[in-house]
Chains A and B, each alone.
Chain A
Amino acid sequence: MMIRIGVMMVLGFMLAACGDKKSETYQWSLPPDFPKPQVPAKNPMSVSKVELGRHLFYDKNLSANGLQSCSSCHEQALAFSDAKTTSVGSTGQVHRRNSQALVNVAFNRSLTWANDEIVTLERQILLPLFGQEPVEMGVTGHEKDILATLDTVNYRRLTKQAFGDEILDFDRIVMSLASFSRSLISLNSPFDHYAYNMEDEALTPSQIRGMNLFFSEKLECHHCHGGFNFTQSTTHEKQQLDLRAFHNTGLYNTAGQYNYPKQDTGLYEVTGKIQDIGRFRTPTLRNIELTAPYMHDGSLETLSDVVDFYAAGGRHITQGTRQGDGRDNKNKSQFVKGFALDKTQKQDLLAFLNGLTDREFVTNATHSNPFIIEVDKRE
């Protein structure tokens, strides 16, 4: 009897020790030889932090009024974006910007649509949580209440595994949400199979033609949407040059003081430099099929509209308050020059863009909502 207890105790200690070890080394789900993302030293990755972050991400109790969670604007099925033109916060306030997809954000050189100073997720996550203009989760002024609501047996357990004790505060909430966001890696599309696994059959002939168009100097897509993450605004642990990829694509050319609608002049609002008017961060094109509508304000509805827009070299708005010919915007990037595409070529290009969809990513259970109980889990 005593021996049994003794053995149980030893086993218990061993298992406890194993548990600690498991949370020490995080295994990125990256293809072989792929560079790893940069992670701040103050918030190393761990499985348990990601798990705590996952719960918080899907928990409406993280918002002050209990009506919204991060996943409300970042739905997994839509590659963690939403289908609205611009998002709506927990208090019903309509935002001015479109919800960005959370795809490989661990590799983002900067965060948000237009801010060159926000370079870590830990800094960015403060905005949707605490921001008051616009209000998203509405935490400011309600911190104590929210933490009280989150003080459950389950969160105590998750917090203890992640941080060693049961105290959940907003510092830890931000760190675990950042870890969860970093874990959202999507590198398993048909394109990846073709490009890096050398599987010639992974893309259709139409998609290959579209890919050749995408990477051609005629279309110049790759000047801004190049690299493994289909955005030049990328960084990883081995990268030599820091590319600050904010571009004005000629979406607008309004009259008045600024040549972009004053509700959103992009990077200019942060830097104060005239040439930064209308400049926005190049987002990734991975999973782009799922993340309509497009652009910082969701003003282009479909990918077909997007291709037409770039083919024209900008957007000409002929009436209304935002009238103007974006094609002539003087801050427009020199790489948005317009091009001619016939119907087949356009179809090929769209087919290629659809080939960037990673079906595994949008159904992966490790990124899914832990609060939904799966009734039927056959197969």
Chain B
Amino acid sequence: MFVCTVAVIKKFVLPFTLICMLVGCDKGGTLNFELKYNNQSVLCHEPLAKNQPWEIEQFWFYVSDLKIKKQGQWQPLLMENTQWQHENVALVGIHCDESGDKNWKIDLADSTSLDEGSAIKFKIAVPFDKNHQNPLKAQSVFDNANMFWTWQQGYKSLRLDMSSNNGDAWAFHVGAVGCQSPSALRSPKKQCRQPNIINVTINEFRQDKAMIIELTNLLKGVEIGHQNRCLSMPMQSSCQLLMDNITKISQRVMFQEALNDD
């Protein structure tokens, strides 16, 4: 009988939510993201650019600790709980296989929360208290074997997998390392030595503009190939360069277009 009730709830709640989305029942503001390569939109099953063999297989990252600056003060930006967002952590990105799963936005709980914001910032990271939970009890965006490493290390906060049409492959996986616990399947009691949190700041924020993720700038100076993957291991030389690229504002990996961008 319980099973029957759940089925009934599923039958009615889903369409209701859909209607709400169409009509706009109390919807919050939205942050939009766009993935680009050399200022061109990145498409699945297509080379990133005309004369090079690489295409993306998947690109995902977690967003947490989202904040907005109003009148000189930083304040938290709260997210709605949706399929791609759970307890103020969002999963953004795309999977270029048959599922075609993708999510390029973050829906905020309060429709006015972006108004008069002069800057925003967030972390590409899963908060510590959520990063080392039992994967079987994981909810929503954390119920994701694709992004999960182990209890000890937690989730990949960012994952970029690419392949080339001549059979080569490359990956960039970011996650916490140096996590102390009795084994790979026990969660650490304190912060990992190298949490590898990526801080992103967008100054001069405009809520009507998307946030661009420019892959050419992320990959600047990195020779892509299977020899040069970064899986957050200390001996992988490409990791330092990639982390530098993505964390420095001047590298313009994540930014918004200026009004008169050339």
Q: A interface vs B, CB < 8 Å? A: 25, 31, 33-35, 116, 194-196, 200, 208, 211-212, 214-218, 220, 222, 226-228, 232, 234, 238-244, 275, 330-334, 337
Contacts and interface: CB of A to CB of B under 8 A. Distances in A.
A31 B135 CA distance: 13
Interface stretch (B114-122, B144-152, B244-252): B144-152
A240 B167 contact: no
B96 to A, nearest CB: 11
Given A216-B184, A242-B98, A226 B229 contact: no
Contacts of B113: none
A169 to B, nearest CB: 28
Given A33-B136, A35-B143, A218-B233, 10 more contacts: A25-B3, A195-B185, A196-B134, A215-B150, A217-B231, A217-B232, A243-B145, A243-B146, A333-B169, A334-B169
Nearest to A34: B136
Nearest to B153: A215
A227 B134 CA distance: 11
Nearest to B91: A240
Contact of A33 (B137, B148, B226): B137
B136 A222 contact: no
Contacts, number: 82
B184 A334 contact: no
A232 B145 contact: yes
B95 interface: yes
A330 B170 CA distance: 14
A228 B99 contact: no
B57 to A, nearest CB: 10
Contacts of A212: 183-184
State the majority secondary structure of interface residues on B.
loop
B148 A241 contact: no
Contacts of A232: 145-146
Contacts of B170: 334
A244 to B, nearest CB: 5
Interface residues of B, number: 37
Interface string B171-210: 1000000000011110000000000000000000000000
B145 A215 contact: no
B166 interface: yes
A238 B226 CA distance: 33
B167 A275 contact: yes
B189 to A, nearest CB: 14
Contacts of A35: 136, 143
B83 interface: yes
A240 B101 contact: yes
Contacts of B129: none
A228 B184 contact: no
A6 to B, nearest CB: 30
10 contacts: A194-B185, A195-B185, A196-B134, A211-B184, A216-B184, A217-B232, A227-B135, A240-B144, A241-B95, A333-B169
A328 to B, nearest CB: 10
B97 interface: yes
Contacts of A222: 149-150
Contacts of B97: 242, 244
B141 interface: yes
